[in-house]
Amino acid sequence: MDWKNQIVLVTGGTGSFGKKFTKILLEEHQPKKVIIFSRDELKQHEMQVGGFTDSRLRYFIGDVRDRERLVRAMHGVDIVVHAAALKQVPACEYNPMEAIKTNIMGTANVVEAALDAGVKKVLTVSTDKAVSPANLYGATKLAAEKLTIQSNAYAGGSATRFSCVRYGNVVGSRGSVVPLFLKQRANGHVTITDDRMTRFWLSLDQGVRFVIHCIEQMEGGEVFVPKIPSTKVVDLAKAIAPNAEIKVIGIRPGEKLHEALISEDEARNTIELKDMFVVQPAEAIWFGYSWQDRGKPLPEGYIYSSDNNSEWLDVEGIKKFIAPFEELFRQGKLEG
């Protein structure tokens, strides 16, 4: 895929993912233009002051809840990366209608605006919490995934194609437990909700490069899932604060002991490749089925879960992951 003639729009473009995606795309792939679409003028200002001043960048104030603004922003756009979301689990539980308006209705607006504007590719960024969701955030992201994938039916004879990327916790991103543990370390203790808990982990750089790779490969209808390691939350706490006391405070409402990236039901339609899984559409009504010849089907009863993963990060492996964030924390630049 030649990025040089592509105009790319990123919803939620001022977030951790959006900034890293923009940086890597501009430096390594040389797109014609990147449009940052977000609702917070201060974050856009801070992004520009922070060095994002490339002549190929455009900044659009707008909310994914506003369909008309999305249509205007997508004029002439080739690729949309939909990363805007309310993602803090407690905040979504306390403000359920707000989560629905942004994560579900906002995704519907992105889909409809992309269809109206003739966008070629739309990739929605999702989460492991969308698999068998136990909280409202996960439920809204599941709905966002379904909206994205099933909207290929609306595309009809048009050029627009819709796919999703689904991955686990991003180390050091906003809302990550890493900044919390770094702050708690100074008090001599860190808090975890359950000492049996496991999670999937990947770096922001890995997540961004996987998204770029999937945009290049997508045909429409796929949910792309990277093969990533698991870690025990206890080991994460030990890696960050080896001398601190670990306090178990009890599992929170809507929180799981383990996360899954592919459910047993999805596994029946999933193809395994060397570095990722591709969940194909459940119904062969449009496209997205050529992956069957590129990989192998999963065995009956397979679940890709953080507790049955074949790849694990031990304490030393986790330390390598979090080293960059230790330095940012010392400099006072780590976002919580």
What whole-number distance in Å separates Cα of residue 221 and Cα of residue 155?
11
How far does Cα 59 stand from its chain's mean position? 21
Radius of gyration in angstroms for the set of CA atoms belonging to the chain, rounded to a whole number:
20
What whole-number distance in Å separates Cα of residue 34 and Cα of residue 159?
20
Active site residue 101: no
Phi-psi bin for 301: left (phi > 0), alpha (psi -120 to 50), beta?
A: left
Give the residue from 51, 65, 81 showing the smallest Cα distance to 208: 81
Using an 8 Å Cβ cutoff, are 76 and 7 in contact?
yes
What whole-number distance in Å separates Cα of residue 13 and Cα of residue 36?
5
Q: Say how many Å lie between the first and final Cα of the chain, rounded.
A: 36
User: Catalytic residue among 129, 141, 232, 238, which?
Assistant: 129
Strands 57-61 and 79-82: what pairing? unpaired
Helix, strand, coil shares, percent, the chain, to 5: 40, 20, 40
Using an 8 Å Cβ cutoff, are 11 and 111 in contact?
no
Strands 270-272 and 245-248: what pairing? unpaired
By annotation, the residues acting in catalysis are 129
